[in-house]
Chains A and B, each alone.
Chain A
Amino acid sequence: MIRKAGQTGLTYFLITLFILFTAFPFYWMLITTFKNDNELYRNREANPLVFNQAPTLDNLRLLFNNTNYQTFVENSLKVGIAVVVITVLLAVPASYSLARLAGAWGERLGIMIFMVYLIPPTLLFIPMSQIVSFLGLRDSLWSLIVIYPTFTVPFCTWLLMGFMKSIPVDVEEQAMVDGYSRFGAILRVVFPLALPGILTVVVFAFTLTTHEFIYALAFITTSSQKVISTGVTSELIRGDVFFWQAIMGAGLLVAIPVALVYNLFLDRFIAGFTMGAVTGK
């Protein structure tokens, strides 16, 4: 009994240390966002981890009214939505084909497609930037809309393959007995059943695009065309002066919703990542 209590105590203690490491930077973001200039820069003896003066909303006002932040958010949304649409249109049929129709080839081809996801942007951005120039998309959001599916499609196809396999074949056969063609059965019966999987893919395709940094940095230099990840890290700086509170606020407003969504879909995400190396539930 005592040993058990000791163990629980140790568990909590160690977990607290881990949380300090992972979450402290976010606390620092939060508190910085609401500090006024005077407190942030002048009062250097005071404890920086708490508010010594009244918190202020001025920094968020600056962020929304005097910077391009809203444009960055809009751009990220536009790119995200367009990429999600392309990804779903390509990955949903492909994953069904790999899971059901391609036979023994399906699994192998599926793994190959997943491997494509592992080719990093840092290996491809130089030829990609030439292709983007060739297509006349430099400095345009379209460059990202065209290029981002190169990593969302492989990952999402792989993730969806698992979902497609879990749908019983009987349902399809019944639909075909009822008079649907094979394709009709897929459209009317299988895809609706795969909806939770498709929703997962929508979420991850979207978050993957908000995470991307390197292509956005390489293809786009005009401020009004930047997305959140490149805009916040370059446009909220004037010369050498960082608008730290605004930067922290901008980051926080992105980080928190994305983290909440990730948490909801975590288990499915891991299933995709572990490539079935985790057996059972």
Chain B
Amino acid sequence: MGTVSEARGGPKLLDREGFLAVAMLMPAVLYIVFLVGIPFVMAVLFSFSDVSVGSPTIDRFTLETFNDVINDPVFRRSLQNSFVFTLFAQGLVLILATVLAILLNRNFRGKWIVRLLILLPWATPIAIGAINWLWLLDSVYSPLTWILREVGLIGAGALLGPRNVIWLGQETLAMASIIAIHVWRMLPLSTVIILAGLSSIPQDIQDAVQVDGASFLRGWFQVTLPLIRPILMVAMLFGIIFSFTDMTVVHVLTRGNPNNTTQVLASWAFYTGIEGGSLAKGAATAIFLMPVLLGVAILMLRVARRTEVR
């Protein structure tokens, strides 16, 4: 490339740090500004307009779109569902992931294969994972139904009645199924993040807790938990973002059915904006993801700053 000779003879532009810093950073920053920044502004503008696929230019700004969106009962249900799903899924994930991380932090044989098996749901593309569950929860051929029948929970006079369980056809069960899939999907990531936090605790502190003879639980709550709090926070924030903004699970499993009772903000935005062609309404629906994202971003920055100071 002849860099050496160029640098010797030329005006040494490639030696100037200020120039290099900007030149090397700009392509990435411009890409992001153009293809994230601009769509982001457009998303906000769209939601205050009346654009649709039929007339894709903004003619006027209006609050009517928001009015229409908010007064739609399906939207309200979607908003509520988004919070319910995220809250339940993340609550469960945090508890289960902490327990699992504690287990994996112990020494036992066959750890790498265990890690691989635990990691599978996160490593699989979510659309594939979701369609796998669609088959697992089939109303006729579900192995879970078969197991329930075998252990006597389904059958004539049994606890759950003689009929098969229609996992995705009934409101509460469908919601529970979607929550379970989010837990299944997020558990691996949260576990490995918490595990990273646990294994970063110096060995002498871990030993001291045991030597002290403190009961496991007391030692855990008084010593370990405060130490891994920032990392628990990180695990939770990522979990919230991925669950709150996901539409794949709902789209593949129920498309929001039965009767839009499992609809979430993201999926409803997709069905109104892309499939229904009402870009403004879709954008206005998706905008309601913003407050939560903003909150998470602020908390994330606080975690980052705290570790930076240290």
The answer for the CA separation of A259 and B123 in the assembled complex, in Å, is: 5
Q: What residue of chain A has the Cβ atom nearest to residue B108's Cβ?
A: A11
Q: What residue of chain A has the Cβ atom nearest to residue B43's Cβ?
A: A127
Query: Are B118 and A124 in contact, with the CB atoms below 8 A?
Result: no
Of A126, A149, A262, A271, the contact of B46 (CB 8 Å cutoff) = A126
Query: Are A115 and B187 in contact, with the CB atoms below 8 A?
Result: no
Taking the nearest CB of chain A, how far is it from the CB of B224, in angstroms?
14
Q: What residue of chain A has the Cβ atom nearest to residue B281's Cβ?
A: A126
Query: Are A130 and B127 in contact, with the CB atoms below 8 A?
Result: no
Query: Are A217 and B251 in contact, with the CB atoms below 8 A?
Result: yes
Instruction: Find residues 164-201 in chain A having any chain B CB closer than 8 Å to their own CB.
Output: 179-184, 186-188
The answer for the CA separation of A102 and B234 in the assembled complex, in Å, is: 26
Q: Is B128 an interface residue (CB 8 A)?
A: yes
The answer for the CA separation of A151 and B150 in the assembled complex, in Å, is: 47
Query: Are A248 and B132 in contact, with the CB atoms below 8 A?
Result: yes
The answer for the CA separation of A128 and B15 in the assembled complex, in Å, is: 39
Query: Are B7 and A180 in contact, with the CB atoms below 8 A?
Result: yes
Q: Is A8 an interface residue (CB 8 A)?
A: yes
**Chain B residues touching A, range:** 35 or more
Q: What per-residue 1/0 map shows which CB atoms of A19-60 lie under 8 Å from chain B?
A: 101110110110010000000110010011100000000000
Given contacts A218-B270, A255-B125, contact A118 B131 (CB under 8 A): no
The answer for the CA separation of A133 and B277 in the assembled complex, in Å, is: 13
The answer for the CA separation of A230 and B276 in the assembled complex, in Å, is: 19
Q: What residue of chain B has the Cβ atom nearest to residue A105's Cβ?
A: B21
* Number of A interface residues in the complex (CB < 8 A): 107
For B241, the chain A residues whose CB sits under 8 A away are 118, 120
Given contacts A21-B184, A122-B247, contact A258 B124 (CB under 8 A): yes
The answer for the CA separation of A261 and B123 in the assembled complex, in Å, is: 9
Q: Which of B63-71, B155-163, B293-301 contacts A (4 or more CB under 8 A)?
A: B293-301
Q: What residue of chain A has the Cβ atom nearest to residue B1's Cβ?
A: A187
Q: Is A14 an interface residue (CB 8 A)?
A: yes
Query: Are A233 and B252 in contact, with the CB atoms below 8 A?
Result: yes
Q: Is A64 an interface residue (CB 8 A)?
A: no
Query: With A127-B283, A131-B39, A255-B128 given, can you name 8 additional A-B contacts, CB distance below 8 Å?
Result: A18-B118, A40-B141, A118-B296, A153-B28, A153-B31, A180-B7, A217-B251, A274-B196
